[in-house]
Amino acid sequence: MDFKELANKYQTPLYVYDFDYMAAQYDELKSAFKGRKSIIAYAVKANSNLSVVKHFADMGSGADCVSIGEVRRAFLAGVPSYKIIFSGVGKSDDEIREAIEKDILYINVESEAELGRVELIAKELGKVSRISIRVNPNIDPKTHPYISTGLHDNKFGVDLNSAKRMYIKANNSEHLDPVGIHFHIGSQLTELEPIRESAEIVADLVRSLEGINIELKFFDIGGGLGIRYDNEITIKPYDYVQAILGTLTALDLTILCEPGRFLTANAGYFISKVLYEKQNGEKKFVVIDGAMNDLLRPSLYNAYHKIDVITDSKEEPRAVDIVGPVCESGDFFAKNYPLPPLNHNDLVIVNSAGAYGFGMGSNYNTRGRSAEVALESGEDRLIRKRETFEDLIALEQEFLKA
């Protein structure tokens, strides 16, 4: 991958995605489910670029969506309605209405109040809404607290007793069709046991429901498979699938898996140019043209990303903070990171930037978001233009008072 050529051609800051790597990750996970009824539904929030979503759709993937905007993206990218799931804690009435009208596979319901809204809106439309209920198994996923979702302290899902009560209500409703059960305990999971424990708890609930003649079709295991940012020991897809299957004895269910980070994170690179080096007392800084508005994870999570540089410098590395131009002390990519002395226009390459990078970006400080480029079969192509100042003010300018 010639980062220098890409930076010259498309300018910086720049996101670059290796589509061949994404395809290999998808194939590895799909192969792990071989011989078992399954659907892989790409978690659109990881990287929602239309070309990325279409890339997975072309391989047969569905889409796990957490807003009606993501549902619309999935349709635009060619994902069939019967492979689209709509999840998320806070769905508005308009979002629920559109999801029902679009006849997607099912709506993942996250509370008793939401179940009531779905039923009422389906009734108003004269339709039956397929639903799944997200169960919170109260299992510690051993991950960052901001991306933990399977504990009762988290806002996601419902406890087992509430879930059973909701299934009974849905099963007795003329406008609800309970077809699935869902759990997702967190993101960047690197330990198998919490996943297996959660699956066992949820599978036991399925058996309990069968005992009262509530027959489900889909066992939705969420996503969350971790990837290597640094030196993490990750879970092999085969071991992941076998752990799930081991809990489903005597259950004839289609497994639904919602990977995001696993498919895209290590396919992505964020390229930025060095503006200056500076020193405050003993502290050394490398200032680059990318910023926290482009890649938020280090500021938000104190997340680690491996960083490479393209430079002619032959000097020994020293500890530096890599920072951007945004007017915040939290605008950094790494602190005390070992880099050699760098010159103006040297390149800084932030690795593992294909998930939760561009999508979490903003226009803070009136900064246009980066361009995005795909690499596939040795060819590069633009998949999102760089935002201009005119793009940023387009929704405001007409309202300026004379």
Catalytic amino acids? 327
Pair 166, 176: CB distance under 8 Å:
no
The annotation places the binding site at: 224, 258-261, 297, 301, 328, 356
- CA atoms within a 13 Å half-sphere pointing along the CA-CB vector of 193: 2
Q: What DSSP string describes 65-117?
A: ESSHHHHHHHHHTT--GGGEEE--S---HHHHHHHHHTT-SEEEE-SHHHHHH
Pair 365, 351: CB distance under 8 Å:
no
Pair 16, 382: CB distance under 8 Å:
no
Q: Across-strand partners of 224?
A: none
Q: Across-strand partners of 273?
A: 347
- For 381, other C-beta atoms within 10 Å of its C-beta total 10
* Token pair 């309990």 in the structure block, residue: 208
Q: By C-alpha distance, which of 304, 285, 386, 310 is closest to 353?
A: 304
Report d(CA 127, CA 24) in Å as an integer.
40
Question: What does DSSP assign to residue 400?
Answer: -
What residue ranges in 258-299 does DSSP mark as E strands? Answer: 268-280, 283-288
Output the CA torsion sign for 273, 279, 280, 284.
positive
Distances (CA, A) of 370 to 89, 238, 290: 29, 36, 9
Q: By C-alpha distance, which of 395, 293, 286, 400 is closest to 349?
A: 286
Pair 122, 176: CB distance under 8 Å:
yes
- For 289, other C-beta atoms within 10 Å of its C-beta total 20
Instruction: Specify the pairing of strand 332-339 against strand 318-323.
Output: antiparallel
